[in-house]
């Protein structure tokens, strides 16, 4: 199967994290989650942590350099032949271009799995997640969707034009989506 680099991308609450975990359970590959890392950093009582917490609570994406730095730091530290699943990177066009350039330089092939989910379903899912997890960023759904359409939708289009994207219906049951991910990525 060779070294694999898989990105999950989509609207907030589309199931990126769930699918990354299901794929990791099937393959044993490491998951790198920008959101988890950024949320942990936002709990720190430091100038950066407080700034991040403020922006995340408002539903805003972090400046491009921060997730790009985290991605590059992690991807450059991977041992030869290690496959990886990335959740929540490539949310802004500039980030995606830099990440694509770095992977090309490393001669590391990648696939982007885009989970299509309607805005109505996203609102429903984030309302449920807000009750269960009480994530600060789930309180500002409209702002997060606005950020998606402003920043992430052009990234999806870039990958679509480049032929690196696998588009799946993200409104199905998680197990059905996972089965489709496995088929699309030729994972047995």
Q: What is the Cα–Cα distance from 127 to 144, expressed in whole angstroms?
A: 13
Say if 18 falls within a structural domain. Answer: yes
pLDDT of residue 138: 65
Query: Does residue 187 form part of some domain?
Result: no
Reply yes or no on whether the pLDDT at 2 is more than 70: no
Enumerate residues 6+ apart whose C-beta is below 8 A from 9. Answer: 16, 90, 91, 112, 113, 114, 115, 152, 155, 156, 159
Scan for tokens 């982007």, then name that residue: 112
For the segment 17-24, the average pLDDT, to the nearest whole number, is: 96
Residue 103 is predicted with a pLDDT of 92
Say if 89 falls within a structural domain. yes
Residue-number span of the structural domain to which 124 is assigned: 5-182
Q: How confident is the model at residue 38 (pLDDT cuts 50, 70, 90)?
A: confident
Q: Determine the pLDDT at residue 57.
A: 87
97-126 pLDDT, tens digit per residue, is: 999 999 999 999 999 999 999 999 999 999
**What is the rounded CA–CA span in Å between residue 12 and residue 18?**
12
Whether residue 110 is contained in a domain is answered as yes
Task: Tell me if 126 is assigned to some domain.
Answer: yes
- Mean pLDDT value of segment 11-39: 93
The four Cα atoms 47, 8, 142, 38 give a dihedral, to 10 degrees, of -10
Structural domains of the chain, count: 1
| CATH number of the structural domain spanning residue 56 | 3.40.50.300
% of the chain surpassing 70 pLDDT: 96
The edge-to-edge listing of strands for the beta sheet with 165-169 is 30-33, 84-87, 5-10, 111-116, 165-169
Query: Is 188 among the domain residues?
Result: no
């Amino acid at each position: 199967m060779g070294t694999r680099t898989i990105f999950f991308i989509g609207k907030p609450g589309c199931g990126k994290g769930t699918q990354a975990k299901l794929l990791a359970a099937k393959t044993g590959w490491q998951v790198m989650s920008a959101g988890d890392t950024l949320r942990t950093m936002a709990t720190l009582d430091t100038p950066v942590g407080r700034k991040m917490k403020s922006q995340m609570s408002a539903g805003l994406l972090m400046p491009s350099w921060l997730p790009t730095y985290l991605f590059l730091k992690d991807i450059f530290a991977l041992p030869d032949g290690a496959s990886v699943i990335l959740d929540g990177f490539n949310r802004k066009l500039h980030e995606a271009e830099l990440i694509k350039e770095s992977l090309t330089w490393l001669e590391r092939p990648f696939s982007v799995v885009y989970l299509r989910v309607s805005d109505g379903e996203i609102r429903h899912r984030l309302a449920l997640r807000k009750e269960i997890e009480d994530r600060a960023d789930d309180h500002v759904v409209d702002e997060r969707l606005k950020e998606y359409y402003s920043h992430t939708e052009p990234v999806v289009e870039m990958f679509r034009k480049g032929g690196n994207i696998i588009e799946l219906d993200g409104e199905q049951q998680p197990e059905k989506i996972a089965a489709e991910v496995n088929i699309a990525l030729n994972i047995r």
